[in-house]
Structure 1
Amino acid sequence: MGLHGAGFRHRALVELDADACATLRKNVLANPEWDGCEVLQRDLKSFEPADLGCVPEELALLSGGVPCPPFSSAGKRLGREDDRDLFPVMLKWIDHLRPRAVMIENVKNLMERKFDDYREEIAEDIQWFGYKVYGWNILKASDFGVPQYRPRAIFVAIRKDVRAEFHWPDPAGYASLSVADALVSSMYRRFRDSGEPGWNDGYERWLGKAESGKAAPTLVGGSKKHGGADLGPTRAKWAWRQLGVDGTGVAEEPGDLKHPERDLYGPLGPKLTVSQAAILQGFPEGWKFSGRKTAAYRQVGNAFPPPVAQAVGESIMATLRASDAASAGQEKARALVEPRVAPRRDRRDDFCGTVVS
């Protein structure tokens, strides 16, 4: 969604999880703005890039949320020894497709010293493929208008024939957003529509704590090996409690509310619904998630916040367009000196991108 907002047209979205694919199909395939985009449920370990049907060097961008568990605390940080590590697969796709730009996202733990050698190997391989590597940068979602701290490690590389420099997005132009700012409307509706006596008192208690002006701690999606959905480890739950939110579980949506005393009026405050967690990730309220509550929450908690993806995508797009403008100017100057017999075919203004989740 973030890269789409940055101006990229997607060729394909490749994802293994069935519920996540259902979410993509529900939101993308019915939207004419996404015409030409395929949603492919594939295991990237057995899906060959040649099967995508793209000509090498055709794509503007290959972007991937390479699985985080090999580098996360919950995943035991086994790195390349973890069978869930897909960096070798990502390198294969880059080598085959040769996109003009590459963007990779992962958890901030990837920046720890124990992974220094692995990060350097990845960067060296991509550089050897013919790219200028702009390295890894930690971007915080809260710096880009997302009401959640959420630091993430982002990698960008630009093919060497691109005639412009990439610059990381500047967070200076983004306003900060607190949990209260983001959830005030939806939380008010939840309490009001519960029909419970004294609902306004419950809402005011939550608002009084949430108005601390703080962004939320990082949402944790977990994995299928993890139990039910909750908002993270003990320290995160304590931080949520300071914001008036019970982080021990996820609430039912208002229309499905069966246990108001558990989901809204518990001693620790209201639990978040999946749709509220999505707001804290920067998703618009119109984006719908498929699957049961836990499956839907995991999609939200594991997502790369769209506003951050858009900020990085806009910087990549600016680089590609600046290069195209420079090339067009050079072609025009050459044509004035040596007119061509055949007219020059203009470069397409629309860029294709492949997002590999």
Structure 2
Amino acid sequence: MKSVELFAGAGGLAMGVTLAGFESLAVVEWDKWACDTIRENQKRAFPLVRDWPIWEGDVRAFDWSSIPQDIDLLAGGPPCQPFSMGGKHKAYGDKRDMFPATVEVVRSLKPKSFIIENVKGLTRSSFANYYQYILLQLEFPEVTRQHDECWSHHLKRLQSEKTSGALHGSGLTYNVVPTLVNAADHGVPQKRERVFIVGFRSDLGVEWSFPSASHSLDALLHTQWGSGEYWERHEIPKKNRPKITAALEAKVRKLGYLMSPPKEKPWRTVRDALAEVSDPRHSDGNFMNHAFQNGARSYPGHTGSPLDLPAKTLKAGDHGVPGGENMMVMDSGQVRYFSVRESARLQTFPDGYVLHGSWTEAMRQLGNAVPVALGRRVAASVAECLIAASTRQITQLRRWHVA
């Protein structure tokens, strides 16, 4: 199966796509530091990225005629800053809004499927109309914006086309499924909420839904306060375990965690993710990108990630890591910054994958990335549907041939 990756960044989603069995025909990214990260790992012959055809530049300047139409998957995360809770919230008025460029690539390549990821802020009420506009453009990419037509008028025309039903079954259309996802529910040791917009070309007849959650908070609470297995696994004696609050104890008893565990696996915590990683202040040199970064301090509302829950969302920031972010709260109650390697683990990047640049630059790349494990899970579910659709088409052709 063939794929193209847009806005690849440091390669999180693209690595997930590769792990799901896709072969990249183009990996496009404009940021020099992120491209240097990928190229450095290619020089190191890191297997997941070794054969990627990396192209440094604007997706709008890429020669898309060099890529065959009907590829299996187009994947990417357009820059999130126009919609981020911490950004300037300009959306369509922000020059970094790359959704129009993404729709143009869909229109040009006519991929069988696409995976598009962005921040939760895209779904907030102030962006409601523009979010609908994005979804409708992806559903009907051939209904193009006319010369001098504003986006709101284009939206009305798309809405009219959708309600009329005239375009379904003719031309290039997609069945589009948007889903708000918490990465922690899928085995990532980080509470990271993101929007995934997945589409399948309508002629394939695919019925798809986002993979069910494999991990849960309830299951974690059971291992901590029901069975106690969590603390035993980490060899934490009872005297050193945090005290359970009255409210949490009431919830534990009400939901019966003392009796039987939930069906999902436990959420993965910071302690789980960093179990074998030494403190960067006393590093033994066994891990790359694991230098200590000084200067961490808490601010109101920014107090770091507790060890025994998934980490708070890693932040990128336009001008470096925002104050009070990307920190862990140690057993002593003090805070320190996550090292680059620790942050990479929280984003489920492989330990052998090197991040290029300073701590600030590497953290920006990681903060903008899709967790590799989550990218793989979504891409694998898409691959499964594509294979099933191909099998159906082959079976139908054989029946017609026999008839």
Tell me: higher relative CO, structure 1 or 2? Use CA pairs within 8 A at least 6 residues apart: 1
Q: Does 1:97 align with 2:109?
A: yes
The answer for the alignment partner of 1:345 in structure 2 is none
Answering whether residue 36 of structure 2 is matched by residue 22 of structure 1, we say yes
Aligned to 2:357: 291
Alignment of 1:112-123 (within 5 A): 112-123=124-135
2:400 and 2:83 map into 1 onto residues whose CA distance is 50
* Match among 301, 307, 310 for residue 373 of structure 2: 307
Number of residue pairs the alignment of both structures matches:
291
Shift in alpha-carbon separation, 1:210–1:156, aligned structure 2, 3 A = closer
In the alignment, which residue of structure 2 is the partner of 1:142? 184
- 2:86 aligns with 74
* 1:54 correspondence with 2:59: no
What RMSD in Å do the two structures reach over aligned CA positions?
A: 2.5
Match in the other structure for 1:350: none
What is the one-letter code of the residue matched to 2:180?
I
Distance 2:53 2:200 in 1: 25
Query: Any idea what SS the aligned residue of 1:161 has?
Result: helix
Q: Which one has the bigger helix percentage? A: 1
Q: 1:279 to 1:15 in 2, by over 3 A?
A: same
Please tell me whether the aligned partners of residues 143 and 174 of structure 1 are also in contact (alpha carbons under 8 angstroms). Answer: no
The alpha carbon displacement at 1:23 in A equals 1.2
TM-score by length of 1: 0.75
Paired residues for 1:221-260 under 5 Å = 221-223=316-318, 226=319, 228=320, 230=321, 232=322, 234=324, 236=325, 240=327, 243-244=329-330
- Secondary structure at the aligned position of 1:70 is classed as coil
Distance (Å, rounded) in 1 between the aligned partners of 2:69 and 2:199: 17
In the TM superposition, residue 149 of structure 1 has moved relative to its aligned partner by: 0.2
1: CA distance, partners of 2:380 / 2:81: 28
> 1:326/1:40 Cα in 2 relative to 1: closer, same or farther (>3 Å)?
same
The AA in structure 2 aligned to 1:213 is D
Q: Distance between the aligned counterparts of 2:197 and 2:72, measured in 1?
A: 16
Instruction: Measure the CA separation in 2 of the matches of 1:171 and 1:302.
Output: 23
Distance 1:212 1:295 in 2: 25
Is the contact made by 2:305 and 2:312 (CA closer than 8 Å) also made in structure 1? no
What are the residue-to-residue correspondences of 1:80-229 with 2, within 5 Å?
A: 80-129=92-141, 130-172=172-214, 175-188=266-279, 191=282, 193=284, 213-223=308-318, 226=319, 228=320
Contact 2:278-2:284 within 8 A present in 1 as well: no
CA-to-aligned-CA distance 1:187-237 (integer Å, 9 cap, x gap): 35753649xxxxxxxxxxxxxx988521110000112xx1x4x3x455x57
Superposed displacement of residue 120, structure 1: 1.4
| Deviation of 1:16 (Å) | 0.7
Q: What letter corresponds to residue 89 of structure 1 in structure 2?
A: A
Residue 307 of structure 2 contacts residue 330 of structure 2 at CA under 8 Å; is this kept in 1? no
Which structure 2 segments of 5+ residues have no match? 1-14, 142-171, 215-263, 286-303
Measured in 2, the distance between the counterparts of 1:307 and 1:42 equals: 26
Q: Does structure 2 conserve the Cα–Cα contact (< 8 Å) formed by 1:106 and 1:154?
A: yes
In 2, the alpha carbon distance for the partners of 1:306 and 1:40 equals 20
Residue 102 of structure 1 deviates from its aligned partner by: 1.2
Change (3 A) 1:144 1:36: same
Specify whether residues 148 and 321 from structure 1 end up closer, same or farther in structure 2 by C-alpha distance, changes over 3 A only.
Answer: same
CA distance in 2, matches of 1:5, 1:37: 13
Q: Matched residue of 1:187: which SS?
A: coil
Deviations 1:313-349 (A, max 9, x none): 0111011001011111112222222xxxxxxxxxxxx
Tell me, what secondary structure is at the counterpart of 1:76? Answer: coil
In structure 1, what is the equivalent of residue 144 of structure 2?
Answer: none
State the SS of the aligned residue for 2:92: helix
Of 129-138 and 94-103, deviating more is: 129-138
* Cα distance in structure 2, aligned partners of 1:304 and 1:69: 15
Q: Distance in 2 between matches of 1:286 and 1:9?
A: 21
Summarize the Cα distance change of 1:110–1:211 in structure 2 as closer, same or farther, 3 Å threshold.
closer
1:260 aligned residue: none
CA 1:210–1:302: 2 relative to 1, 3 Å: closer
Letter in 2 for 1:333: R
Shift of 1:271: 2.5
Distance 1:25 1:150 in 2: 27
User: Any conservation in 2 of the 1:144–1:174 contact (CA below 8 Å)?
Assistant: no
Q: Percent identity?
A: 31
How many angstroms does 1:309 deviate by? 0.8
On the 8 A contact 2:19/2:48 being kept in 1, the answer is: no
